[in-house]
Chains A and B, each alone.
Chain A
């Protein structure tokens, strides 16, 4: 069974631009969560979508947004990019209720110059 896929794998953008990242979950999984990983802060929760609804959002500015489609695929958008947004963005999928294992994709490496 195919794992979680993320596209693109690498991105280079300049400050002020916007970017959209995509995540396709494991077939049958209805929950997709997004995390930002930086050397200084480690892994931080961005938001989680379940059946096209955002169930929770982490402590990030409104420039970070997302959505989920009816096939459970999810996109994350970052507008007005800042240098500090450079990070590895990881998405994870699961069946969506407590105690189910979360499976992570390979990540998208975003570099903002």
Chain B
């Protein structure tokens, strides 16, 4: 059974700092890994999707890496801004017993960027 862990649960940094969020998973048989952002009381916004055959994806100030062999992914945020404050979730897409796919989520890292 896939388990996804995100450490730390909360992180507070000053504006402008570069930071790394961590995600680890127990089963390397994944189709892909997605990073999401969730603002308080809102739905999830997809940030980056890394296919299982890829090592990293970049979008603007965000860079996500994937190392299936070690069961780890990182989300790097460059030059953080107060608007980056949110909860960041990672999720692995796995096959279910029914043959379809589902996302297994970590519990998230709550990021606060202080002006």
| Contact with A104, one of B46, B97, B98, B101 (Cβ below 8 angstroms) | B46
How many chain B residues touch A (CB < 8 A): the figure is 30
Which residues of B, 78-111, contact A by the 8 Å Cβ criterion? 89, 91, 93, 95-108
B76: Cβ under 8 A from any A Cβ: no
CA distance A50 to B93 in the complex (A): 16
Known: A55-B98, A99-B31. A107 touches B42 (CB 8 A): yes
Q: Is A67 an interface residue (CB 8 A)?
A: no
Chain A CB within 8 A of B43 CB = yes
Measured CA separation A56–B45 after assembly (Å): 24
State whether B104 touches A104 (Cβ < 8 A): no
CB-based contact A50/B105 at 8 Å: no
B85 to chain A, nearest CB (A): 18
Q: Check if B46 sits within 8 Å of A103, measured CB to CB.
A: yes
- Contacting pair A99 B34 (CB below 8 A): no
- Whether, in the assembled complex, A109 has its beta carbon less than 8 Å from a beta carbon of chain B, the answer is yes
Q: B49 interface residue, CB < 8 Å from A?
A: yes
Give chain B residues whose Cβ lies under 8 Å from the Cβ of A43: 89, 91, 103, 105
- In the bound complex, what is the Cα–Cα distance between A101 and B35 (angstroms)? 10
10 pairs of residues in contact across A and B, judged by CB atoms under 8 Å: A48-B100, A48-B101, A55-B96, A58-B102, A92-B103, A99-B51, A101-B46, A102-B34, A102-B103, A104-B43
Residues of B within 8 A of A (CB): 31-32, 34, 36, 41-46, 49, 51-52, 89, 91, 93, 95-108
